[in-house]
Amino acid sequence: SEQDENFRPNFHFTPEKNWMNDPNGMFYLDGTYHLYFQYYPEDNVWGPMHWGHATSKDMITWEEQDIALYPDEKGYIFSGSAVVDHNNTSGFGKDGKTPVVAIFTYHEPEGEKKGEEDYQSQAIAYSLDKGQTWTKYEGNPVLPNPGMKDFRDPKVTWDDINKQWLMALATTEKTLFYSSQDLKNWKKLSEFGEGNGAHDGVWECPDFFPMQVEGSDETKWVLIQSLNPGGYNGGSGTQYFIGDFDGTTFTPEKNMQNLEEKHNYWIDFGRDNYAGVTWANIPEDDGRKLFIGWMSNWLYAQEVPTSTWRSAMTVARELKLIKENNEYLITSQPAKELQKYRGESLQKENIKVDKKTVLLDSSEVNLAKAEIHFSFSGLSDGEIEFVLSNSEGEKMRILYDHAASKFKMDRTEAGQVNFSDKFSGKNAVAPRITKSNSMNGVMILDKTSVELFLDNGKTVITEIFFPNQPWNEFSVKSESGFVVDSLEAFELNFNK
Ligand code: FRU
C-alpha cells in the first residue's frame, strides 16, 4: 500500500515482502558483505522461520537475494551464524572451493507444542558458491539438545588465540561455550552468566570475540548477550560483558562480576535494536568489529503499521572497546561506509539556545535521510527538548536532563502509536555515560527511525516511529540555556 511505501526506510534494510527479525550468519567474502535474516516469506507476522538473504558491497545499500535456508522435517531455521572455513576444517570444501559454513538452530514446533524440553538443537549447512546456495549437512544436528528448554542461536568464531572454533550459545539464563576443530563435533567448555546482569527474560543471540582496547595493545573478550523481555527499557535489549578468556572459561572484569539487573552496559539503550551480532571474516587489515541489529522490539514488532513488509535492520555500526576511568566500555558509531552517501555539508555555528530554536528544516536537508553531527556546550541543570516535528503537529521528542544525566525518548505524539499500547506508553530512558558540560553526537535519520550516537558512541539510542507526514523541522528548546557550538548536516544520497 501507499502507507507501506511511505514508511519503508530510504536506506535501512527491509525485505521487499513480509516478516523479518534477527540478523543471521553475517560474513564478508571477496568484496561482498552477506546478511541473512530470520524470515517468514508467507506473512507479515512471525511464522515458520527461513533464512532470508541480502548482499551488499558496503553494508549500507542492500540487495535482497533468494531465500538461503528453508525449514524442513527437522524444524524451523532459527538464528545462527556463518564462518568462512579457509582451511577446510569441515571437509566440505571441494575442487579447491572454500566452504562457508552456517551454524543455526533447528526449532521443532511440534516438540514445543507438546511441552517437551528438547525441541531446539544446532545444525550446519555449507555453501560452495560464496553463500548463494546451501546444502544442509546429512549428519545434523551436530549439537543435539541435552534436555534444555531454550538452547539456541549459535554464534561461531575462529578463536585464533586458542586455535579452535568457538561457539557461544544461549540458554534461558546463561551463555554456553563450546569448541570444535571441524565444526561438526562440539565439546562443551563452560557456562557464564547465571545471576549476573539482566535476567528478566530469556537470553538469546550471544556473540563472543576478542577486541583490542583502543590506543593500547591490550586484548579483552567481549560477550554480547541479548535478552527478551527484560531489556533496559523493558522488552528486547542487548547487554554486554567484558573480561578474559583462557580458552575455556570467560571471567568478567571485577566490576562486571555481579552486575545488578539494572546496569549500564548495553549496546543500545533505545527500544529498537535487538539480537545484533558482528560480521565474520572481516579482513585483518580492516580489523573492524562490524555490527548490525534488528531495529524493532518483540513488544510490538508484529503490530507496527506496515503490512507488506515488517521490520528493518539498524545501520551497520562499528564497535570499539575503550578504557576510561578504569572501566571498559563498548562504543558504537555508524560504519564509515555511510559517509560515501553524504551530499553537501551544511554547517551552522554558535547558536545560543534559550527559547525554541529551529536547528534544521526540510528545505535545508531531507530529514528522512540525514546524518547530523552536533556539539553542545554550556550545559546546565534543566531540561533540553529536541523535537522532530511535521506539518500535522506530530512530534518525536528527545529530552536531555543534565542534572539527572539522562536522555528520554518520547514518541507518544510521533504519529501512529495506537497499534500497540506497548509502543509509546512509557518514555524510553537512557543514562548519559559521560559527565561533562559539553556533548557531541551523531544522529542518523531515516523515514521511520532515529539512531543517536552520543559522546563518541558511549550512549547509543535507536528508536522507530511512524509519522503520518515526514518530519519537516528539527528544533530545540531549553529554559536553562546552552550553546550549539556546531552543527553539520548532510543529506544522504539514496534514491528511493
Ligand atoms: C530472537 C529470537 C531467537 C530465535 C529467533 C526466532 O529474536 O527469538 O532467539 O532464534 O528469534 O525467530
ipTM: 0.99
Query: What is the residue type of 362?
Result: S
Ligand 1, pocket-test mutation among 49, 76, 77, 78, most atoms within 8 A of CB: 78
Torsion over CA: 136, 142, 148, 153 (sign)? negative
Dist. CA 89 → ligand 1 center (Å): 28
Ligand 1, pocket-test mutation among 46, 49, 79, most atoms within 8 A of CB: 79
pTM, full prediction = 0.98
| DSSP for residue 163 | T
* Ligand 1 atom with the shortest distance to the CA of 46: 12
* pLDDT value at residue 98: 98
* pLDDT value at residue 495: 81
Dist. CA 310 → ligand 1 center (Å): 15
* Ligand 1 atom with the shortest distance to the CA of 22: 7
How many Å apart are CA 225 and CA 93, to the nearest integer? 32
Dist. CA 236 → ligand 1 center (Å): 11
- The contacts of residue 398 (CB under 8 Å, 6+ apart) are 385, 386, 387, 388, 407, 408, 409, 410, 450, 452, 461
pLDDT tens readout for residues 431-474: 999 999 999 999 999 999 999 999 999 999 999 999 999 999 99
> DSSP 3-state assignment of 76?
strand
* Ligand 1 atom with the shortest distance to the CA of 80: 10
Residues of the chain with pLDDT under 70: 496
* pLDDT value at residue 89: 98
Contact 262, 241 (CB under 8 A): no
Residues with CB under 6 A from ligand 1: 21-22, 38, 49, 78-79, 105, 152-153, 204-205, 275
Q: Which residues are catalytic?
A: 22
* Ligand 1 atom with the shortest distance to the CA of 202: 9
How many Å apart are CA 66 and CA 364, to the nearest integer? 39
* pLDDT value at residue 470: 97
How many Å apart are CA 468 and CA 15, to the nearest integer? 22
- Atom 9 in ligand 1: residue holding the nearest Cα: 204
